[in-house]
Structure 1
Amino acid sequence: MLQQLRSLLRGRAWQSAPHKEPSHFDKVDVESRVLETYRLITDVDVPDADIIMATWWETAEWMAKLSPSKGTKVYFLQHYEAFD
């Protein structure tokens, strides 16, 4: 919505709704949730599960605070950089 207002204020036409990009989860029978804003993840946001996986250091810190009912905590490290 903010982008729409900026466009109008700049004298441009109303922009059409952004196109939803395809997802790896589109054809998988697994519940997925997308948070609409950047914020701390809490127990309310996450269903009870067997495992929960973080893929970023910040979400790993948030995940560590979740209750055990949210699953065994796993941190998927995709790239490791070590600097001297």
Structure 2
Amino acid sequence: MAIVPVMGWLGVPLMTAKPTGLFINTLSMLSATLKNIRHGKLDVRFGLPILIVTRLFLRLVHTPGSSYLVALSLSFSCSSCFTQAR
């Protein structure tokens, strides 16, 4: 969360720090997702239908702000997959 400002304070240009921060966050999210799948904390059977229906709906309703809606729906779908540890 503080990667981009810290890189800015260290003298990294903003146009370099932003994509680098996004890349680091993507790797972090991917590793956390894989770890949660391995430990059985991610219920893919629950979230997958939500993800598919949302993607199909947003493909039918193509608006200028649909990329924002896709990102919002993906984040909701991914967060709804997490269940409590058994």
Q: Same fold (TM over 0.5)?
A: no
The two structures have a TM-score, normalised by structure 2, of: 0.24
The two structures have a TM-score, normalised by structure 1, of: 0.24
- Computing the radius of gyration from Cα coordinates, the structure with the larger value is 1
Would you tell me which structure has more strand in proportion to its own residues? 1
Would you tell me which structure has more helix in proportion to its own residues? 2
Higher relative contact order (CA 8 A, sep 6+): 2
